[in-house]
Structure 1
């Protein structure tokens, strides 16, 4: 559809926000908004699902796949930064803003819970490509330089992985809504690793194992949701 006469062109932008203050909460305050001079020509959106099959040597055909779970959405986008006509005459300022989305925020460091900012790619009324996530990858290619070596043009490739909120459970004995929660297993997970991330103690994996009737702490099936008991249960 052609753009209406007099209508302004909607520019894409990346919103950088404080990570949620607690599990299941929304992102915090807005830290910065990186406005792009040029809209991307393409957007790549991907989402994967996990399936499991139980092979049988006696079966003539492949066994029916069993749905395990779905992974997060991932948005890949390339944007062009050009400072040849700007007053600062350098693209490094905007690149630095993007780089800050890859390191823990000062607020999270102050609370001794390091976490990188959450981001959201916004472009007009688009919904499928606009979701809260984390910047999982950023690469910058500089292609034009001033006589003093300052970069004037850069192409930035960003990958944003959807950051879904964990499901809060309820402890039937205490009634606390934050007493338990669930964690969806991803490839490479192990119970000691999860216990370290949740409790700061890898040896507390037995608490999670008992809550989920798991015998082998190293053998977890991707896509399965595990019940994570409250901190006091791990002590």
Structure 2
């Protein structure tokens, strides 16, 4: 089984070694997904599109914290023994810079509105009476972030046309991990076990991923179903696949 990443996963190998061609510029983007139809945290729904970075980020700020509890001891000279109570989700903060001084149009405003739309329920989720904003995954070349939601967006417009149209903006976006790991569950409760992530590399197939995860290539359909894959022959390198846990398949009798 592939190991679950704490922050990022990476696919492919470094380019430009041994006198080869230098690596090509790859622009980062935010991949948007419909939230899961069942309202859980097992796997994202179909892709909704992407928000590209006009300029790649200069830095990425990652945070993860652990929760500890320590009870005061009335008659002790030292504090009590700390007790670990859990981990908070990872958070990724980044900046997106948009500039339209060459066209002087409203494209910057449209990009900012796309980011703000990540904080409101999608139309499909509202129709299902399970309103939820889209899931978001950060991509940059072979680097793939964790499934997350946009917890905050702030936009600062810094340049305007004579008519007042913003043509330059700096946006600060915070993504918060949607954790798929559950504590121990009653086998009869129907709760999903934790799922791993496999990042597709050149040459991967659903059959090979299934064999690597379960030792049985014939279980590729379960991976396809978990990722809403209609065409198993089209796997793009860099794609993050959610791999159901073996316990989940056992519960289904597979």
Which residue does the alignment assign to 1:231?
none
SS at match of 2:117: helix
- Give yes or no for the alignment of 1:30 onto 2:43: no
Alignment pair present for 1:163 and 2:188: no
Give the Å deviation of 1:86.
Answer: 4.5
Q: Flag the 1:151–1:64 CA change in 2: closer, same or farther, 3 A.
A: same
- Structure 1 residues 133, 84: CA separation in 2 closer, same or farther (over 3 Å shift)? same
* Partner residue in 2 for 1:148: 163
Q: Could you tell me whether the CA contact under 8 Å between 1:24 and 1:167 is conserved in 2?
A: no
Q: Answer 1 or 2: which has greater strand percent.
A: 1
The superposition leaves residues 88-132 of structure 1 with CA deviations (integer Å, 9 ceiling, x where unpaired) of 5530121121121110011111011111111111112335xx111
Asked if the contact 1:32–1:97 (Cα under 8 Å) also holds between the matched residues in 2, the reply is: no
Q: What aligned pairs does 1:90-129 form with structure 2 within 5 A after superposition? A: 90-127=107-144
1:143–1:2 distance in 2 versus 1, CA, 3 Å: farther
CA distance in 1, matches of 2:103, 2:137: 25
Q: Tell me the CA shift for residue 165 of structure 1.
A: 2.4
User: Higher relative CO (CA 8 A, sep ≥ 6), structure 1 or 2?
Assistant: 2
Hey, what's the Cα distance between the residues in 2 that align with 1:120 and 1:131?
Answer: 6
1:177 aligns with 2:190: yes
2:184 and 2:66 mapped to 1: Cα distance? 24
Structure 1: gaps (5+ residues): 182-235
Work out the number of aligned pairs and report it: 176
Bigger CA radius of gyration: 1
Aligned to 2:152: 137
List runs of 5+ in structure 2 lacking aligned partners: 1-13, 194-254
1:50 to 43, 63, 67: 67
Q: What's the offset of the Cα at 1:37?
A: 1.3
Alpha-carbon separation, structure 2, partners of 1:115 and 1:166: 20
SS in 1 for 2:126: helix
Bigger drift between 158-167 and 5-14 goes to 5-14
Deviations 1:144-168 (A, max 9, x none): 1112211111000000010112638
Give how far 1:62 is off: 1.9
